[in-house]
Amino acid sequence: MRIQLRQVEHEPFTALTSAGIDPVLARVYSARGVAGPDDLDLGLAGLASYTQLKDIDQAAKRLAIAIKNAEKLAIAGDFDSDGAAGASLLIEGILDLGGRLPSLFIPNRLTQGYGLSPGLVAEMPADTNLVITVDNGIASIAGVAAARARGFDVIVTDHHLAGERLPEDCVAIVNPNQPGCAFPWKGTAGVGVAFYLIAATRAKLREDKWFGEHRPEPNLSKYLDLVALATIADVAPFERNNRIFIAAGLERIRQRRCRIGILALLEVAGVEPENVTAETVGFIVAPRINAAGRLEDMRTGVRLLLSQDEQAAREIARTLDQLNRERRSIEDGIREEAEEIAAQIVSAPQDGEPFVLCPYQPDWHEGVIGIVAARLRERFHRPTIVFTKAADGSIKGSGRSIPWFHIRDAIAAVDAQHPGLITKFGGHAAAAGLSLAKETDIAVFTEAFAAVARRELRASDLEEIIYSDGELGESTACLDTALAIEKGGPWGREFEPPIFHGTFLVKNVRELRSNTLKCTVQKEHWALDAIWFRRNSEQSLEDGKRYTIAYALSVNRWRSRENLQLRIEKVLEEHSS
């Protein structure tokens, strides 16, 4: 593990400070590609138009017809927060546009697997007119064929990467990542694609003079809390268009102008809406919604997001909170086992570095293997796929990757080399999932996957790099800087929150929980309170020793008071006194 300083671009830095932006924040922005103050304008006027999305016109025309004719619609969602929020947005949007209440179909993660499958289509009523997928469908060749065989029209809305074949005979495929789509913002989440479909359909209905005194035209801003929630939860890149979505949605939440289900989740978590950030949504709200899809049924999450009753929303939120506690307990047990296996792989004598980790146990819960893969990737800094046995006897894998290694493309390369080994797969550069037929296939896959990694990565790529925005002094490591950073977001993937580093004397170390430490860090004659969340059990700090620490500045709020708190991200080096 080593520190690498982010490069500050001089001209943007000068332009930003000349505009009155805090110098620390200006340095942070210029190191993230912000060219000047105009790039920081996240007003909705800057949101990209839907018009460059391939097939959006055909999709909007067909949905407009379905709305005007009160056709029977089926929404095929996904079992994560993006799928749940996207499905909620489509259902609410169609109702607001004057359509008939759609039926919702979300596969069970444990028994049905991902996407629009023939089995999911079989559950749909025979008089269904139109099926709309959200956050899935680009790989659902058999599912779309099954829907067409039953006489259903199909609109696919998705954002995942396309394979060599696309579903055939669809009314439209709306996906910024499909071949031939000119839409510039490829990081748009599934919920964002759903938002654009509703926007385009509203425009078509307006053109048809559908709206009037007794059928008001909906204001699309009411859906922005959903778009923000799911874009953050899906770890989509914080490119400019997504930052506009997220900033607007977070502001609605802070003003309590969001749906009551989100407020109910914040309430059970003990978070005031006024203090919500992208980090709050990612670490507090999203896991509670995801818990429904991981352990039970994501329709519970959709019910929460669509609820109009405060008491019902609170009850569902409490249910999700309890499910999330169960999820954490299950995850902790599996993570410990998986870390032990991974540590053995990394330390075992072999020719060269092990470039990948592919631990397997047949009894690991399928709903949490993706989270465990992320934890292993964080600790060992290698492409990781965690495998388990599914209810149908097949082998399911969920993977997470490191920079410079496109995990979905790597799986595709294995598929090309070993036809028939992988029964299905999909995903993105940073995360992917796949299925194998039987246990003995795991070793074959792992060897082929490792070979791809060895071709594409160097041993130095396995060293974790901490990108730092530099060192702070007493005058800049302060509450005002922390508040400026908090206000200067949203921060997230590819627009990462600022990380600083320094060498500190550590004092007053105390353990709060098994994986959380508090302490005081001192540099010269100034000191700060510090906290270290999610530390590995092997890592610790000792009183009276000096360490090089990578950290974030955070605001600790308690009983209406705001205090500066240094949040330890990584401990890089211990120094002799």
Residues 310 and 184 in one domain: yes
Mean model confidence pLDDT for the chain: 95
Mean pLDDT for 154-172 is 95
Residues 83 and 69 in one domain: yes
Q: What's the half-sphere exposure (Cβ side, CA atoms, 13 Å) at 289?
A: 36
**Where residue 427 sits, what CATH number does that domain have?**
3.10.310.30
**Where residue 524 sits, what CATH number does that domain have?**
2.40.50.460
Give me the sign of the Cα torsion angle 469, 473, 474, 480. negative
Mapping DSSP to helix (H, G, I), strand (E, B) and coil, where does residue 29 land?
Answer: helix
- The residue from 462, 487, 518 where one domain ends is 462
pLDDT digits (tens, 9 = 90+) for 180-200: 999 999 999 999 999 999 999
Residues 288 and 373 in one domain: no
How far, in Å, CA of 453 to CA of 446, rounded?
Answer: 10
Q: How far is CA 489 from the centre of its chain?
A: 17
Regarding beta strands 422-427 and 431-436, do their DSSP bridges make them parallel or antiparallel, or are they unpaired? antiparallel
- Give the count of beta carbons closer than 10 Å to the beta carbon of residue 525: 6
How far, in Å, CA of 158 to CA of 443, rounded?
Answer: 32
Residues 117 and 243 in one domain: yes
Q: Which range, of 403-412, 498-507, 535-544, 556-565, averages the lowest pLDDT?
A: 535-544
Number of domains in the chain: 3
Please report the DSSP string for 127-191 in residue order: T--EEEEES--TT-HHHHHHHHHTT-EEEEE--SPP-SS--SS-SEEE-TTSTT---S-TT--HH
List the one residue out of 334, 394, 408 whose CA is nearest residue 368: 334
Q: Specify if 186 maps to a domain.
A: yes
Residues 413 and 507 in one domain: no
Per-residue model confidence (pLDDT) at position 559: 78
pLDDT digits (tens, 9 = 90+) for 27-48: 999 999 999 999 999 999 999 9
- Amino acid (1-letter code) at residue 563: N
Q: What percent of the chain has pLDDT over 70?
A: 99
Going by pLDDT thresholds of 50, 70 and 90, the confidence category of residue 469 is very high
Mean pLDDT for 537-551 is 89
Q: Specify if 91 maps to a domain.
A: yes
How far, in Å, CA of 239 to CA of 245, rounded?
Answer: 10
How far, in Å, CA of 377 to CA of 402, rounded?
Answer: 7
Q: What's the half-sphere exposure (Cβ side, CA atoms, 13 Å) at 188?
A: 31
Query: What strands, in cross-sheet order, belong to the sheet with 431-436?
Result: 384-389, 395-400, 431-436, 422-427
Residues 455 and 473 in one domain: no
Residues 299 and 370 in one domain: no
pLDDT digits (tens, 9 = 90+) for 202-228: 999 999 999 998 899 999 999 999 999
pTM of the model: 0.92
Q: Specify if 402 maps to a domain.
A: yes
Going by pLDDT thresholds of 50, 70 and 90, the confidence category of residue 577 is low
Q: Which range, of 237-251, 443-457, 545-559, averages the lowest pLDDT?
A: 545-559
Residues 247 and 165 in one domain: yes
Q: Specify if 367 maps to a domain.
A: yes
Q: Specify if 26 maps to a domain.
A: no
How far, in Å, CA of 305 to CA of 154, rounded?
Answer: 25
Residues 457 and 545 in one domain: no
Residues 448 and 475 in one domain: no
Distances (CA, A) of 129 to 59, 331, 409: 14, 41, 36
Per-residue model confidence (pLDDT) at position 106: 95
Regarding beta strands 465-468 and 103-105, do their DSSP bridges make them parallel or antiparallel, or are they unpaired? unpaired
| DSSP label at residue 418 | S
Q: Is 342 left (phi over 0), alpha (psi -120 to 50) or beta?
A: alpha
Q: Specify if 64 maps to a domain.
A: yes
Residue pointed to by tokens 């929404």: 75
- Amino acid (1-letter code) at residue 281: V
**Where residue 169 sits, what CATH number does that domain have?**
3.90.1640.30
- Amino acid (1-letter code) at residue 6: R
Q: The domain containing residue 227 runs over which residues?
A: 50-319
Q: How far is CA 364 from the centre of its chain?
A: 22
- The residue from 431, 462, 493 where one domain ends is 462
Q: What percent of the chain has pLDDT over 90?
A: 88
- The residue from 277, 302, 319 where one domain ends is 319
Residues 265 and 165 in one domain: yes
Strands (E), 56-112: 73-76, 103-105
pLDDT higher than 80, residue 514: no
Q: Specify if 203 maps to a domain.
A: yes
Mean pLDDT for 65-86 is 97
Element (H, E) at 433: strand 431-436
List the one residue out of 390, 368, 358 whose CA is nearest residue 324: 368
Q: Specify if 29 maps to a domain.
A: no
pLDDT digits (tens, 9 = 90+) for 82-139: 999 999 999 999 999 999 999 999 998 777 778 899 999 999 999 999 999 999 999 9
pLDDT higher than 90, residue 239: yes
Residues 421 and 474 in one domain: no
- Amino acid (1-letter code) at residue 377: R
pLDDT digits (tens, 9 = 90+) for 339-377: 999 999 998 877 677 999 999 999 999 999 999 999 999
Please report the DSSP string for 239-289 in residue order: -HHHHHHHHHHHHHHHTT-S-HHHHHHHHHHT--GGG--HHHIIIIIHHHH
How far, in Å, CA of 26 to CA of 29, rounded?
Answer: 5
